[in-house]
Amino acid sequence: MAALMQKSALSRPACSTRSSRRAVVVRAAADRKLWAPGVVAPEYLKGELAGDYGWDPLGLGADPTALKWYRQSELQHARWAMLGVAGVLVQEIVKPDVYFYEAGLPQNLPEPFTNINMGGLLAWEFILMHWVEVRRWQDYKNFGSVNEDPIFKGNKVPNPEMGYPGGIFDPFGFSKGDFKELQTKEIKNGRLAMIAYMAFILQAQATGKGPLAALSAHLSNPFGNNILKNIGTCTVPHSVDVQGLTIPLTCLWPGSQ
């Protein structure tokens, strides 16, 4: 009997410890912000990544290697989308007479770029972007391996975290503050920008107008200019000829070209 009582007494702390650990885990899950109330995040999404709200319905991030690559891809797309959205809006404000869908045509470019060879420009863009992307891939495969400038040796970026080079890319020293909060703000704004840019494109294809012009038309006649009225309409031609180069086009919006 004495042995049983001693065994029972020894087992109590272990049970108490397990219960307390479970309580801590439950509290941590309750305190974490998720994409909807009451949802359970996948086990592999632990809230460590900025902007992680437990949303992965297709399970794309179940593989840790894939998850790391998807985060870098999302960052790149988010940053380009933020630049694109800002560019479209600024261009329409500064030159409202130029449709942003055609702003890149030679005749719509400012001097001295009106006579630029578009084929040569595309070739140089391909070469330079390919070089940058290869360097980014090398950093992904071997983090920190491309921190040093390949031409001007001795010049390096601190690169505290993959995708965040720092140094001259952080002239105001924001990364020295609450880095995680700034990362979260960036990815949230980037996700919104990706949705906005896609909306700009679909809207332009359906109406032939820029976002501000389309917004003005909608506000002037909400029932006559809206998404339902534009279904089945596409203003994009099958192709466009630029300096003898035929570029095929497609309409992402459901409609006939």
Distance of alpha carbon 204 from alpha carbon 255, whole angstroms: 13
Q: Does the annotation list 191 as a binding residue?
A: yes
140-159 core/surface letters (b: 16 or more CB in 10 A; e: else): beeeeebeeeeeeeeeebeb
Residue 187: count of CB within 10 angstroms of its CB: 19
Q: Does the annotation list 238 as a binding residue?
A: no
The residues that bridge with 216 in the sheet, in sequence order, are none
Q: Does the annotation list 130 as a binding residue?
A: no
**Is 233 strand, coil or helix?**
strand
Positive or negative CA dihedral for 99, 105, 111, 113? positive
Q: Does the annotation list 136 as a binding residue?
A: no
Amino acid at 104: G
Q: Does the annotation list 131 as a binding residue?
A: no
Q: Does the annotation list 115 as a binding residue?
A: no
Distance of alpha carbon 85 from alpha carbon 199, whole angstroms: 10
Q: Does the annotation list 55 as a binding residue?
A: yes
Instruction: List binding-site positions.
Output: 55, 74, 77, 79, 185-186, 189, 191, 203, 218
Instruction: List binding-site positions for chlorophyll b.
Output: 79, 185
Instruction: List binding-site positions for chlorophyll a.
Output: 55, 74, 77, 186, 189, 191, 203, 218
